[in-house]
Amino acid sequence: MNAPGSVVRTAPASSPEQVFDWLDEEAAKRAEAGLVRRLRPRTADVGELDLAGNDYLGLARDKRVAGATAAAALRWGAGSTGSRLVTGSTELHAELEHELARFTGAQAALVFSSGFTANLGAVTALSGAESAIVTDKYIHASLIEGCRLSRAEVAAVAHADPAAVRHALATRRRNRALMVTDSVFSVDGDLAPLPELAAACREQGAALLVDDAHGIGVLGEGGRGAVHEAGLADAPDVVTTITLSKALGAQGGAVLGPRRVIRHLVDTARSFIFDTGLAPGSAAAALTALGVLRAEPELATTVREAAGNLAERLGAAGFVVGAPAAAVVSVRAPTPEDAVGWAARCAELGVRVGCFRPPSVPDGISRLRLTARADLTESDLDKAVGVITETAPERARG
Ligand code: PMP
């Protein structure tokens, strides 16, 4: 970033029409770099095979879950009407928090309006100018924003590397410390070494914050998440954030952890206090999804198997595929342009896949990002592998 003094001041805009001219200049640069993004609204009932969304258990359209949204909206209103601290907490929010804590084995839970705001709130409230934060260098953007807002001394270290974390914590210049990581990394779908990271944190007197957005509902016993699987769900020094918008098919986020952490967030997390509470319909949907998952714990195993199958078959077809820890399968593309073209050709043939390229990927490697769902059939998998193979750019194999 330029130091403020190094910016050359040119003539200011001479008319209101020119004030935003700089946006056009930036848009032209993005176009040149192939970085223009496009919104592609989904059309209901078109029958596209979705390997891009995060509806891992197929619950977003489940009649029980979607029906709960409608019933709660009719009973409580379409919106929550205010901050959680004023009018935005309904009995549904309280019940959801109770159930989330019970399901994951955490002492307590606090529901936010999204996973993004849960991460912002947790990171900023649990650190400050007097603390150090050590992060994995591939953490989600919402955690990075939390670190930036925190005013802490921040060190981003090598990916999935407990020794690097231990070293950064040991050489910090602040007393208090927080280590921040994703459990399942959102681009490559690999898993953080949580037990080793927890051990490094303990040795160095640091707290551990794990974003289990892609683990909840997919990993651990009956989908209790990666933190539960690592035996850390009720640890006094571990805080977990989740989203309600992926495996649970709803919308919203939550922080899970020791009771005193949750109390602290209620009093101090700005993205909790100054944000309108989660819509009642979304709270009801998440609550119903948790009930479905309790009744059908095999959903979590099924989605993992589907991801494993997809990765294996694409690997056998010669593509460079990461070993999926949860539902996310990543397939390497030779160049950003290849990735964009590949994804577009898949869409034309009725298979929607995600496409990640710089700057969304910090390592500069472009990929297709595929997500498995528990309700994928064998013929869905056949179609996915067929279309991805047929549309692959040259040099995508090996
Ligand atoms: N963390 C991770 C790892 C994510 O992938 C996402 C969603 N892309 C979020 C947090 C944000 O969650 P939400 O979409 O509920 O805001």
| Distance separating alpha carbons of residues 113 and 254, to the nearest angstrom | 8
Query: How sure is the predictor about 373, in pLDDT bands with cuts at 50, 70 and 90?
Result: very high
199 and 325 share a domain?
no
Residue 2 reports pLDDT greater than 70: no
Angle at 207 between CA 202 and CA 211, to 5 degrees: 120
| Distance separating alpha carbons of residues 287 and 294, to the nearest angstrom | 11
pLDDT in tens, 118-130: 999 999 999 999 9
Q: How many domains does the chain have?
A: 2
Task: Report residue 100 CA to chain centroid gap.
Answer: 18
Is 114 touching ligand 1 by the criterion CB < 6 Å?
yes
Segments in 243-377 forming alpha helices (H): 259-268, 270-273, 280-295, 298-316, 336-348
Residue 101 reports pLDDT greater than 70: yes
304 Cα–ligand 1 center, Å: 19
55 Cα–ligand 1 center, Å: 13
Residue 1 reports pLDDT greater than 50: no
Asked if ipTM goes beyond 0.95, one says yes
128 and 153 share a domain?
yes
255 and 363 share a domain?
no
360 Cα–ligand 1 center, Å: 14
State the residue range of the domain holding 359.
297-390
Average pLDDT for 362-390: 94
Residue 6 reports pLDDT greater than 80: no
Is 243 touching ligand 1 by the criterion CB < 6 Å?
yes
226 and 344 share a domain?
no
Contact of 181 with 135, CB cutoff 8 Å: yes
Q: Evaluate whether residue 6 is within a structural domain.
A: no
273 and 313 share a domain?
no
**Of the residues 100, 112, 116, 239, which should be mutated to test ligand 1's pocket, given the most ligand atoms within 8 Å of the CB?**
116
Is 280 touching ligand 1 by the criterion CB < 6 Å?
no
115 Cα–ligand 1 center, Å: 5
**Of the residues 186, 190, 216, 361, which should be mutated to test ligand 1's pocket, given the most ligand atoms within 8 Å of the CB?**
186
**Given the DSSP bridges, would you call strands 238-243 and 253-257 parallel, antiparallel or unpaired?**
antiparallel
275 and 309 share a domain?
no
188 Cα–ligand 1 center, Å: 14
CATH number of 148's domain: 3.40.640.10
Is 182 touching ligand 1 by the criterion CB < 6 Å?
yes
Residue where one domain finishes, among candidates 252, 275, 295: 295
Is 371 touching ligand 1 by the criterion CB < 6 Å?
no
Query: How sure is the predictor about 368, in pLDDT bands with cuts at 50, 70 and 90?
Result: very high
Residue where one domain finishes, among candidates 295, 325, 341: 295
Q: Which residue has the tokens 């529901």?
A: 111
Is 104 touching ligand 1 by the criterion CB < 6 Å?
no
Is 213 touching ligand 1 by the criterion CB < 6 Å?
yes
147 and 194 share a domain?
yes
Query: How sure is the predictor about 3, in pLDDT bands with cuts at 50, 70 and 90?
Result: low
